[in-house]
Amino acid sequence: MTSLVRIAPSILSADFSKLGEEIAAIDAAGADYIHLDVMDGHFVPNITFGPPIVKMVRGATKKVFDCHLMIAPADPYLQGFADAGADIITIHAEAGAHWHRSLQAIKAMGKKAGLAINPATPTSVLDHVMDLVDLVLVMTVNPGFGGQSFIPLLDKISDVRARIKATGRDIDLEVDGGINPDTAKQVIAAGANVLVAGTAVFKGGPSTYASAIKSLRG
């Protein structure tokens, strides 16, 4: 496990009227990844944005675009997000029956592949895809809304960390949902090395982004 804790601010909580500026600001403030929450109004209740927006803001930063697809089906849109500039494309195990094939497709596009699992989804869905994933995303809220309260799935995070360790591969363990300075300490201790945070980063405006990101690193 890498000792480096990476912070991935979710632009879901950014000011969309000046999204490019917001991304540039969190880049300058020390963000490691830029987390893009894509919602379709079908797999999850809300609708956010698609590949055209990703392409439009790609020029605002050179940081990793961590693209979290909360959409079903995902396969028809993978190439679009890859072409738009996503560096990591994460799909949900719950969003389709053939996530092994989907992960293969993402890798064939030259992108890093992630698999997300919802709070009630068992970690056994990872059993036969650990050779394909570059990132495992453990959701500590039910997907679809920002600003939700943290579900303390620390045993689940620890289980995923053990699975990653067993592979001998450098796989990110990302946690998304209710992350703030207090819960960040808990998930880092359980084995997470990438933290997604929206409200905790963006709530105070650009002048606070650097201090907010620093506080999440612990």
Could you confirm whether 176 is annotated as catalytic? yes
Residues ≥6 apart with Cβ < 8 Å to 146 = 10, 12, 13, 37, 198, 199
Q: What is the DSSP letter of 12?
A: G
Structure tokens given for 92: 């949900």
Query: Residue 138: helix, strand or coil by DSSP?
Result: strand
The answer to whether 194 and 172 have CB atoms below 8 angstroms apart is yes
DSSP bridge pairs for 96:
none
For residue 25, which phi and psi values (nearest 5 degrees)?
-70, -40
Angle at 51 between CA 217 and CA 10, to 5 degrees: 20
Q: Which residue out of 66, 134, 172, 176 is catalytically annotated?
A: 176
Could you confirm whether 155 is annotated as catalytic? no
Structure tokens given for 129: 């895809």
Provide the terminal-to-terminal Cα distance of the chain, rounded to the nearest Å.
17
| Residues noted as catalytic | 37, 176
